[in-house]
Amino acid sequence: MKKSLGNLLLGAFIGFLVTVVLGGPLPVIGHFIGGLVAGLIAGGGMGRGALAGFLAGILGGIIIAILVVIGFSALGGILGGALGGLVGGVVGVVLGIFALIFGFFGAIVAAIGGLVGGAIVRK
């Protein structure tokens, strides 16, 4: 497979989708498999696979954190008006920060999966 930026980004995106689908029911294994898929698609060796896996994992963490902030802000606004939206937004930001932290740890696991995927493609 030709090494290109497109393959790297495609691997990261497909790995992100796999992580989203498997990350809920199988938290650590889902991140690893998502990174593995990203590394297999990205090709080009272990470093490139690890980068694709890390991008897949961190993309998932960022998206989930944004959804948490928006969700809590909307829920607070629906249930409590303007003040509820403010309180929901503050709670959402705090939980969004926790989601980013856990997303970073998931990205490390996905990077390890990408490293393995890159090693498989290299052989």
Give the range among 1-5, 25-29, 47-51 with minimum mean pLDDT: 1-5
Choice between 43 and 17, residue whose per-residue pLDDT is larger: 17
C-alpha to C-alpha distance for 113 and 29, rounded to whole angstroms: 9
- Give the per-residue pLDDT at 26: 85
C-alpha to C-alpha distance for 10 and 40, rounded to whole angstroms: 11
- Give the per-residue pLDDT at 121: 87
Average pLDDT over residues 41-60: 91
Residue 34's pLDDT band (cuts 50, 70, 90): very high
The residue assigned the tokens 């890159």 is 118
Average pLDDT over residues 64-84: 85
The residue assigned the tokens 């970073």 is 104
Average pLDDT over residues 95-101: 89
C-alpha to C-alpha distance for 113 and 123, rounded to whole angstroms: 16
Contact status, residue 61 vs residue 99, Cβ threshold 8 Å: yes
Provide the 8-state DSSP code for 3: -
Residue 49's pLDDT band (cuts 50, 70, 90): very high
C-alpha to C-alpha distance for 52 and 57, rounded to whole angstroms: 9
C-alpha to C-alpha distance for 96 and 79, rounded to whole angstroms: 20
C-alpha to C-alpha distance for 24 and 32, rounded to whole angstroms: 13
The residue assigned the tokens 């497979």 is 1
